[in-house]
Amino acid sequence: MINNFAKQCSQSKLSTECEQLIDISRESLSVNNGNIPKWEEAIDEINKYSKGGIDYQAPYLKIDTKNNNSEHLQKSLKKLIPWRKGPYQIGSLQLDSEWRGDMKWDRVLSNIQPLKGKIVLDVGSGNGYFTYLMALAGAELALGIEPFLLFNYQFSAIRTLIDNPPNAFVLPLKLEQMPKKPLFDTVFSMGVLYHQKDHLLHLEQLKTVLTEDGELILETLIIDKKQGNKIIPKDRYARMRNVWCLPSTDTLHTWLKAVGFKKIKLVDVTKTTPEEQRATHWIGDNTQSLKDFLDPDDDNLTIEGLPAPRRAIFICQK
Ligand SMILES: C[S@@+](CC[C@H](N)C(=O)[O-])C[C@H]1O[C@@H](n2cnc3c(N)ncnc32)[C@H](O)[C@@H]1O
């Protein structure tokens, strides 16, 4: 996956940064993770299947492969569970991930500047479902960065099945490891801010990597202002351990202003539904998802008694 990126990167506006990005990625991949042999075996198996063109046919990112044995392919792809982001369709095999990513993409795409010809950064890209969509929307290069190694392997598995893949890449990097330079025309941070202990630092880092007339798309969990300025969960939030702060949209607006964004526009607030986040066999057998994380008597509350997940999208410029 790194070699493919190296070639494309060297021909792009990022050319002076390729070496650094590649060195850090190689270091991240060289950790001692006992799962890597299993994940590499899965990629080797998947490499033997026939490839096809990729196209977005909502809700699926569809790869038009022919003559593959779906049952065998499913077995290989399941070596890489849990598949949180998607959905994908490979030939007749529907990989129904936990999340219906197309629903978020619908809310995002209608509100952003066209991606055609842009250099795009997708921070916390997961397995690259949105990164592919950014490239298919015409980005010159869409770079996803994702520190969780399994999701990098999932990205590779999907890429392995694509004939003539679009200019989408996922590297095992954190935002903190990116060059502190305004390199990207559009920066996406979707579902990442609430996982950051230092939310202002994350927003500052997003601003640093954005070009002067670039656009930040920030999608994150928020609360209604009736519930206060912000909530800091004492323990878990909707069973997630690492949720540090849930601001109201007014509070988030103040934070964005504090780090120096000038044009800040709230374009969407949507309650997350069990249609968008659901348990499927692609996250494992007998697993739970959103409907199990909500109060069984009141779907406006999480199982911990906090406001149920709602997400906002802000579009920001420097
Ligand atoms: C909830 S997922 C969101 C995935 C996708 N962007 C979406 O909107 O569905 C958040 C991802 O951000 C990644 N992440 C967390 N902190 C990060 C950081 N500092 N830099 C880059 N990625 C990060 C996590 O590993 C995780 O995969």
Q: What is the pLDDT of residues 117-160, one digit of tens each?
A: 999 999 999 999 999 999 999 999 999 999 999 999 999 999 99
| Ligand 1 atom index nearest CA of 99 | 9
CA-based end-to-end distance of the chain = 33
- Residue from 21, 121, 195 to probe ligand 1 pocket by mutation (most atoms less than 8 Å from CB): 195
| 141 CA to centre of ligand 1 in angstroms | 19
| 126 CA to centre of ligand 1 in angstroms | 6
Contact 142, 122 (CB under 8 A): yes
Long-range CB contact pairs, 246-251, < 8 A, 24+: 246/194, 246/221, 246/222, 246/306, 246/307, 247/199, 247/222, 247/223, 248/222, 248/223, 248/224, 249/222, 249/225, 249/312, 249/314, 250/225
The predicted model scores a pTM of 0.97
Homologous superfamily of the 2-317 domain (CATH): Vaccinia Virus protein VP39 (3.40.50.150)
The mean pLDDT value of the chain amounts to 96
Residue 212 in tokens: 């002067």
Tens digits of residue pLDDT in 266-318: 999 999 999 999 999 999 988 898 999 999 999 999 999 999 999 999 999 99
> What are the residue boundaries of the structural domains of the chain, listed by start?
2-317
**pLDDT, mean of residues 228-249:** 93
